């Protein structure tokens, strides 16, 4: 990301940070997969995985933004799948 964007993101105060966070979480909750009567397990699994991955990406993005403010890199997450 460009240095200008990093500077702007690191200057967010706590209230603005929380407001952005809530806006994203509200939107992702509205996009929760709807399971239809004719949906099979594969389709349900694909939708659920996509939804969960989107939530994970948003969470990690806010961790990255928070780390800009503190000036230290975000903690590395242990890969449990391996």
User: Could you count the other beta carbons within 10 Å of the beta carbon of residue 17?
Assistant: 15
d(CA 54, CA 61) in angstroms, rounded, equals 11
How would residue 78 be classed by pLDDT, with cut points 50, 70 and 90? low
Q: What percent of the chain has pLDDT over 90?
A: 44
Residue scoring higher pLDDT (23 or 4): 23
How would residue 79 be classed by pLDDT, with cut points 50, 70 and 90? low
d(CA 39, CA 46) in angstroms, rounded, equals 11
pTM for this prediction: 0.72
User: pLDDT at position 8, please?
Assistant: 86
d(CA 75, CA 73) in angstroms, rounded, equals 6
**Predicted confidence (pLDDT) per residue in 28-57, tens digit:** 999 888 888 888 999 899 999 999 999 999
Compute CA 9 distance to the chain's CA centroid, rounded to the nearest angstrom: 15
d(CA 80, CA 47) in angstroms, rounded, equals 22
Q: What is the mean pLDDT of residues 6-11?
A: 86
Structure tokens at 72: 């230290």
């Amino acid at each position: 990301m460009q240095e200008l964007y990093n500077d702007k993101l690191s200057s967010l105060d706590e209230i603005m940070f929380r407001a952005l966070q809530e806006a994203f979480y509200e939107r992702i909750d509205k996009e929760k997969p709807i399971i239809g009567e004719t949906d099979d397990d594969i389709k349900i699994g694909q939708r659920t995985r996509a939804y969960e991955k989107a939530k994970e990406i948003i969470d990690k993005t806010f961790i990255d933004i928070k780390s800009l403010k503190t000036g230290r890199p975000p903690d590395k997450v242990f890969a449990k799948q391996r």
